[in-house]
Structure 1
Amino acid sequence: MFTTSFTLLLGIVGLVQGHAGHKHVRKRQDAPELSELLAGNGRFQAKIQAENPTLLSDLTAEGQAPPFMFLGCSDSRVSEGTIFDAAPGTLFTERNIANQFSQTDSNSNTVVSYAVAELGVKHIIVMGHYGCGGVAAAIASPPAAPVDAANGAVQSWIAPIRTLFETSTRPEIVTLRESIAGRTDVEEPEPEEPGFRALVEENIKVSVAAIAATSVIQNHYASLAGLSAEEKRAEGGPPEAVFIHGWVYDIENGQIQDLNISVGPPGVAIPPAPFSAVKQAAEGVEPAAEPAVEATVEPLQNSADSESPATICKNKCISKRRLQGSY
C-alpha cells in the first residue's frame, strides 16, 4: 500500500516538473490583430459620442425596434453595418454561409419569427454577394473521401446550392454546367464567371421564396388581410406590412443591386428598392408588380431629420402597450 502510494506521488511530482520544464509553451504571445479590434472599438465609441451621444443609452433603455431584418453571408467582406453605414438599432441580423434560409434551420426560423412577431420589422433583406465562397464550393467538385468533419459540415450545408446548380435552367448556369460535365476535378470558378454570378442570384431568390412561404409570414399576411376597418383605425395602427427583398452585393466595388423579386402582402403596393436593378434576373421568384410611386424603402442610414432607432422603438413599444391595454 505504502509502496503504491509512494510510486504514485513520484509520478505526480514528475508530471509537475515536466510541465515546469515546458513553461515556454505558456509564454505570452503578441497578437496585434486583437489590438486592432481594441483600436476599432475606441473609434466606434468616439464616433458615437461625437454624432449621437445618447444613442446607445436610449437603445438600452427603450429596447430595439429595427425597421430591417437582414439575412446575409458570413463572409467577412460583407458586413452589413459597414456596407450600409447603419447605426446600431437599424438591422436585426442573421448571417450564414451563402445567405441560405431553410425551413429545417431552427436558427434562421427563430430570427425571422422574432423579427416579424416581436420587433415589427418592415423589411426583410436577403443579400448575397458575387464571389461567394459557399456558392463557388457548390460548383466545384466535392472533396474526395475520406471527408473530415470540417469539410463534411460545409458540404452538407451547401448541398441545396449544389442541387440548384445541377437543376437550374438559367442559360448562364446551363452553359457553365455543360462546360464541366463529366469532370471530377472542377475547381471553384473565378468571380467574373457568368454562371457563377447567375447562381449567386438564383440562390438569393431561393431564400426570398423560402422566407415568403413560412407560416410566420403567411400568417402575418393573413392577419393583415383580415383586419376590420375599425381595427385599422385603432390607436397605434394595424400591424406593419412586411416586405421581403432580394439584393446582391459586389465585393469588388461595393455596389448593391436589386433582383426585382420583392414580395409583400396581397393587395399592398411593394415599395421600390432604391438600388439599380440587375440586368439579368430571369429565374426564380416572379418579379414584383410595378409598385405605387409614393411607396419607398426607408433609408438605412439615419439622417439628422429622421427618427433615431431609439425613438422609433419607444413609439412602437407605447403603441403595443396601448393595443394590449397595458399603457
Structure 2
Amino acid sequence: MSVKELFINNIAWAQKVKKDDPAFFQRLSLQHAPEYLWIGCSDSRVPANEIIGLMPGELFVHRNVANLVVHDDLNCLSVIQYAITDLKVKHVIVCGHYGCGGITASVKNQKLGTLVDNWLLNVDNVQNLHRASIEKNNTQERIIDQLCELNVIEQVANVSKTSIVSDAWSQGQKVTIHGWIYSMTNGLLSDLDINVSSAEDLKIQYTQAIDRINDRFKLSPENE
C-alpha cells in the first residue's frame, strides 16, 4: 500500500464516521476528557482503541517497546503526569501482550541494536528479578509468556510508585492502576488481577499477583 493510499483511506474513514455521527468531529474538537490512560507496547498488532472498542477521544495512549515504565523516561512520565494531573483520568491500564518482541529478545539474548538493547535492559532486570521462578518452565515459549505477564505486574508497580500517582492519591484523587495482557491468537484481553488504588493496595496485590502467575506457570499446559 502506498503512502497516497493512506490519505485515501483517511478520507473514506472520515466520511464514514461523519455519516454515522454527523456531530462527531465537532464534539471531538471541543472536548478531550478520556477516563483511561493506556500504557502499551508499540507492536502494531495491538491497537489500543480497537481492541477495547473505544472511539477517538476516549483513550489517552502511550506506547513503547515492551510497555515499560522507566523512572528516567521523561516521555512516559510526562504522559502519566498530563493524564492524571490535567485530564484527570480515573484508570491507568498497563497492557502487555504474549509474544512481545522485546520480551522475546531478552529471553533469547538477541541483539537488536544499541539503543533498543539498552532499553531492553529494563526487561532483563525483570527477568533477573524473577529468574528462579521463570527457569522452572521447561519450554522457552512458556518462559516468554510468563515473563510477559510478570513484566506487566512490574510496570504496574512502577506506575504506582511514581511521585505523580503518589501525589494524586495523597490529594484524594481516585486513580486505579490495572494490569492486563492481550493475546494475538484470539484477540482477547486477560485481567491479571492487579488493581491498585493506593500504596497499601500495591503492597498486598503485588505479591499476590506475582504468586498467582508463578503458580499457574508451574502447572503443565494441559492442566492450566
Q: Give the shorter-chain TM-score range.
A: 0.7 to 0.9
Shift of 1:75: 0.4
CA–CA separation in structure 1 for the residues paired with 2:197 and 2:21: 33
Contact 1:170 1:282 in 2 (8 A): no
Residue equivalent to 1:219? 167
- 1:121 is displaced (CA, Å) by 0.4
Give 2:198's aligned residue. Answer: 265
SS in 1 for 2:60: strand
Aligned to 2:37, which of 69, 72, 83? 69
CA contact (8 A) 1:125 1:247 kept: yes
The sequence identity of aligned pairs, in percent, is 32
Query: 1:244 & 1:44 partners in 2: Cα distance?
Result: 33
> Could you say what secondary structure the match of 1:262 adopts?
strand
Q: Which residue of 1 aligns with 2:115?
A: 153
2:212 and 2:11 map into 1 onto residues whose CA distance is 43
Q: Measure the CA separation in 2 of the matches of 1:33 and 1:280.
A: 46
Give the equivalent residue in structure 2 for 1:248: 181
Distance 1:46 1:205, change over 3 A: same
Report the number of matched residues: 207
Distance 1:74 1:267 in 2: 31
TM superposition shift of 1:212:
0.3
Q: Partner of 1:194: helix, strand, or coil?
A: helix
Residues 115-126 of structure 1 aligned to structure 2 (within 5 Å): 115-126=83-94
Query: Secondary structure at the residue paired with 1:175?
Result: coil
Matches within 5 A, 1:55-204: 55-61=24-30, 63-143=31-111, 151-169=113-131, 171=133, 173-176=134-137, 189=140, 193-204=141-152
Q: Which residue of 2 aligns with 1:210?
A: 158
SS in 1 for 2:63: strand
> How far apart in 2 are the matches of 1:115 and 1:216?
10
The structure with more helix, counted as a fraction of residues: 2
Distance 1:68 1:155 in 2: 30
| Residue 281 (structure 1) aligned to one of 180, 190, 213 | 213
CA contact (8 A) 2:160 2:199 kept: no
Partner of 2:222: none
> How far did residue 58 of structure 1 move?
1.6
Structure with greater Cα Rg: 1
The one-letter code of the counterpart of 1:60 is S
Change (3 A) 1:169 1:261: farther
Q: Does 1:41 align with 2:14?
A: no
Partner of 1:7: none
Does the CA-based 8 Å contact 2:40-2:64 persist in structure 1? yes
1:54 to 2:23 alignment: yes
Deviation at 1:197, TM superposition (A): 0.4
Contact 1:248-1:257 at 8 Å conserved across structures: yes
In structure 2, distance between residues paired with 1:105 and 1:266: 22
Q: Which ranges in structure 1 are unaligned for 5 or more consecutive residues?
A: 1-31, 144-149, 180-188, 225-238, 269-276, 284-327
Moved over 4 A (4+): none
The verdict on how the C-alpha distance between 1:260 and 1:170 changes in structure 2, with shifts beyond 3 A counting, is: farther
* Cα deviation 1:36-84 (Å, max 9, x = unaligned): 42243133213311222212212212x3010100000000101112212
Please tell me whether the aligned partners of residues 131 and 197 of structure 1 are also in contact (alpha carbons under 8 angstroms).
yes
| Structure holding more strand per residue | 2
Q: TM-score if structure 1 supplies the norm length?
A: 0.59
Please report the TM-score for the alignment, with normalisation by the length of structure 2: 0.84
The question of whether the paired residues in 1 share the 8 Å contact of 2:41 and 2:95 is answered with yes
Contact 2:18 2:25 in 1 (8 A): no
Unpaired stretches in structure 2, ≥5 consecutive residues: 202-208, 216-224
Q: Provide the rounded CA distance (Å) in 2 between the counterparts of 1:280 and 1:257.
A: 14
